[in-house]
């Protein structure tokens, strides 16, 4: 536990350093106008990436490294737009599906330790300032997450989410997400002690299509150190012709990375390949 707290403090210090250092990056873009954004959206495919799609592997920093503690994690995630500004108040309707798996590839028979299924249906809306320039994106969604198992291994919860994404600084985008959970007390009655009632995600593009830093914070409903910090560094070694593929270094510290053993504290460092989402690319604006 002492080692976990130590790692947690180190990660917070590193994260603060990254944010302070790189928020001084040079501006290379301007905000989209409403007309420009609508034209851009009109040409986008209805089917696209939602969250990052990746395959990473790594080891713990808070326990012995062996075939049972080292693992791989992969995620597939997509989004299907159902309407484009056809609903009242210029809102649009879309579906998402994300599947995250923890794979013990270093053990015999390569067993899957935990698989989490996460579908949602959502309504989104763009917000503009007085000059009709993009200010933020709001989303209201119903989300389900479960591990598809039964008996004592069953884990699931449902929630109504309200999320707002906006640019907070030069090349820096933040998402603020809050949820109202329900139907979670059977199988994981203390889940909120570890996932809380919301999260904050901050992403900073230091070099467009090349180097990106990302931080997600969650705090459980408790007065203890329960919750999680997830820090990611994306680096694209493939050149500008492949702008959405990166190598990703991830450090996850805390609980509830997966549903099955959500109460367990861990510190995992993983590295691997990612097809990164560009869902909120508009906040990086138009290149001059």
% helix, strand, coil for the chain, step of 5: 15, 50, 35
Query: What structural domains and CATH numbers belong to the chain?
Result: 1-282 (2.40.230.10)
Please give the pLDDT value at position 99: 98
Task: Kindly list the averaged pLDDT for each block of 10 residues, start to end, along the chain of length 288.
Answer: 49 47 44 80 87 98 94 98 86 96 95 96 94 93 95 94 93 96 92 97 93 97 94 91 90 97 96 92 68
| β 134-146/92-103 pair status | unpaired
172, β-bridge pairs: 169, 204
Please give the pLDDT value at position 48: 94
Q: What is the pTM of this model?
A: 0.87
Catalytic residue among 29, 48, 57, 144: 144
Q: Cβ of 223: how many Cβ atoms within 10 Å? A: 6
Q: Mark whether 183 is an active-site residue.
A: no
Please give the pLDDT value at position 278: 86
**8 Å CB contact between 143 and 120:** yes
Determine the Cα–Cα distance for residues 272 and 57; give it in Å rounded to an integer: 6
154 labeled binding residue: yes
Q: How far is CA 103 from CA 97, 116, 146, 230, 263, in A?
A: 19, 12, 17, 19, 19
Please give the pLDDT value at position 28: 40
The tally of CA atoms less than 13 A away on the side-chain side of residue 219 is: 5
Chain Cα centroid distance, residue 251: 13
Please give the pLDDT value at position 20: 44
Q: Mark whether 144 is an active-site residue.
A: yes
175 labeled binding residue: no
Catalytic residue among 101, 141, 146, 265: 146
109 labeled binding residue: yes
């Amino acid at each position: 536990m002492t080692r976990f707290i130590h790692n947690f403090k180190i990660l917070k210090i590193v994260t603060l350093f990254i944010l302070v250092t790189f928020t001084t990056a040079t501006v290379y873009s301007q905000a989209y106008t409403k007309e420009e954004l609508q034209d851009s959206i009109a040409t986008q495919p209805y089917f696209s990436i939602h969250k990052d799609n990746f395959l990473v592997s790594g080891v713990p920093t808070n326990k012995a490294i062996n075939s049972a503690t080292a693992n791989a994690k992969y995620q597939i995630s997509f989004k299907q737009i159902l309407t484009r500004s056809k609903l009242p108040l210029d809102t649009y309707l879309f579906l998402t599906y994300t599947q995250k798996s923890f794979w013990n590839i270093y053990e015999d028979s390569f067993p899957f330790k935990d698989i989490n299924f996460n579908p949602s249906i959502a309504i989104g809306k763009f917000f503009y300032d007085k000059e009709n320039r993009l200010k933020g994106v709001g989303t209201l969604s119903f989300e389900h997450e479960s591990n598809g198992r039964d008996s004592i291994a069953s884990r699931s919860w449902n929630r109504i989410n309200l999320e707002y994404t906006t640019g907070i600084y030069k090349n820096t985008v933040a998402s603020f997400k809050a949820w109202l959970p329900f139907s979670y007390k059977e199988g994981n009655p203390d889940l909120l002690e570890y996932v809380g009632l919301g999260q904050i995600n901050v992403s900073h593009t230091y070099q467009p299509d090349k180097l990106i830093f990302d931080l997600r914070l969650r705090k459980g409903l408790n007065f203890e150190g329960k919750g999680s910090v997830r820090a990611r560094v994306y680096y694209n070694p493939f050149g500008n012709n492949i702008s959405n593929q990166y190598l990703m270094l991830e450090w996850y510290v805390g609980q509830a990375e997966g549903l099955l053993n959500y109460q367990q504290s861990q510190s995992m460092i993983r590295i691997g390949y990612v097809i990164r989402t560009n869902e909120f690319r508009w906040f990086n604006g138009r290149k001059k």
